[in-house]
Amino acid sequence: MKILLAGGAGYIGSHTALSLLNSGHEVVVVDNYDNSSPESIKRVEQLTGRSVTLYEDDVKDKVRMLKIMQKEQPDCVIHFAGLKAVGESVQQPVRYYRNNIDTTLTLLECMAETGCKEIVFSSSATVYGAENSSPCHEGMPRGICTNPYGWTKSMMEQILQDASVADKELSVVLLRYFNPIGAHESGRIGEDPQGIPNNLMPYVSQVAVGKREKLTIFGDDYDTPDGTCLRDYIHVMDLAEGHVKAVEFCAHHHGTEIINLGTGQPYSVLDIVNTFQQVNDVKVAYEIGPRRAGDLPAVYSDVHKAERVLGWRAKRTLADMCRDSWNWQKNNPNGYKK
Ligand code: NAD
Ligand code: UFG
């Protein structure tokens, strides 16, 4: 199959491109490098020995997207193109709504005009909100989001669902990711956050490599076994392989299917820090700080539907995730920059 990856040069997109190529699919990437660089795709080509058709374009630009879709005629689109920093979305809500919603609408319009009927969407566990308790399963109603980023995901899910009600030939898979971490085992591609990382694993790696002084753990007084928050961390290569299954499923399906991609196994912040230190034999200095606004004590997935519908389950361990994150960080201390 030929798959168009909107936002495919980013963290999850580049790993998915690699898995798709290794599964024999063709890959077209459209990215404006708002939060990435073409270097990730160059490395994917080196790792796979396959070539990727790459367009530097804004997915919101309908004139350009239509030309690309007409020329490439993809069988399926995967929509990764989005802004994703929760705190920034509170400061710049209009930019987040404009980018995330517009990319989705443009892709749907271009698909309709070129006859493409399959779309896989990068959603997030954040849409479960605080109302649903973990393990989160796909039958639960979406909850109240605490930030504009979360609302964009919730709204985009609704838009895609509505589109599949109106067009009975449309096949939509909404993938709700839990907490993707890790990197390809080669250490050649990985997560390359700009500026100070918001998320735990890149922060831990940057402390270990000496770029940051210490990690602040946001609260140790939650009602959890060690007092720190529980999350469902998933290796990005497991996530990438989940996308290959989702794309193949999408080809034989109509309507909307919501699927969690997680491991179902919660780990605490201290589990991450301790495992990272142990597996990699490095020190991660940390202090306990106050809680971060909006954090929930425990968020993890029910994984049965992914197993049943996609025949997929995460295989890699927390030790694998910590080892591969470190392998990427120590070999690329400045990310994709030289
Ligand atoms: P990322 O920032 O590394 O990748 C997103 C890519 O989209 C980047 O390459 C960026 O340049 C591109 N992009 C953004 N707006 C664009 C536009 N208008 N036109 C063209 N390209 C555009 O992020 P990621 O971690 O790879 O996440 C991919 C998707 O998964 C995002 O939609 C994100 O919200 C979602 N998601 C991520 C996580 C996570 O923890 N990483 C969790 C849940 C959901
Ligand atoms: N944490 C720290 N210190 C840090 C960073 C994070 O203690 O410097 C803690 C957080 O408090 C949380 C855990 O580490 O308990 C994980 O935090 P992340 O920011 O890595 O991930 P979140 O679970 O907060 O958020 C992630 C994605 C969001 C998505 C959300 C859905 O980043 O995009 O999951 O649950 F919306």
Q: What is the DSSP string of 180-198?
A: EE---TTSSS----SSS--
**Alpha-carbon torsion (9, 10, 15, 19), positive or negative:** negative
Using the mean position of ligand 2's atoms as its centre, give its distance from the Cα of residue 125 in Å: 11
Return the ligand 2 atom nearest residue 218 CA.
7
Return the ligand 1 atom nearest residue 126 CA.
43
CB 230 within 8 A of CB 236: no
Return the ligand 1 atom nearest residue 102 CA.
18
pLDDT in tens, 223-239: 999 999 999 999 999 99
> How much is the pLDDT for 337?
87
CB 206 within 8 A of CB 197: yes
- What CA–CA distance (Å, rounded) separates 176 from 97? 19
pLDDT in tens, 291-327: 999 999 999 999 999 999 999 999 999 999 999 999 9
Strand ordering across the sheet containing 53-56:
53-56, 26-31, 2-6, 76-79, 118-124, 171-177, 255-261
CB 191 within 8 A of CB 328: yes
Q: Tell the residue number behind the tokens 């319009």, with chain if given.
A: 109
The whole-chain average pLDDT of the chain stands at: 97
CB 6 within 8 A of CB 103: yes
Which has the closest alpha carbon to 130: 229, 256, 25, 259?
229
Q: Establish whether residue 286 lines the binding site of ligand 2, counting it when its CB lies within 6 angstroms of any ligand atom.
A: no
Which has the closest alpha carbon to 123: 151, 87, 165, 164?
151
CB 48 within 8 A of CB 20: no
pLDDT in tens, 146-191: 899 999 999 999 999 999 999 999 999 999 999 999 999 999 999 9
Q: Establish whether residue 243 lines the binding site of ligand 1, counting it when its CB lies within 6 angstroms of any ligand atom.
A: no
Active-site annotation holds for 233: no
The neighbouring-strand residues paired with 271 are none
- What CA–CA distance (Å, rounded) separates 175 from 177? 6
pLDDT in tens, 108-142: 999 999 999 999 999 999 999 999 999 999 999 99
Q: Establish whether residue 328 lines the binding site of ligand 2, counting it when its CB lies within 6 angstroms of any ligand atom.
A: no
Structure token pair of residue 232: 């469902």
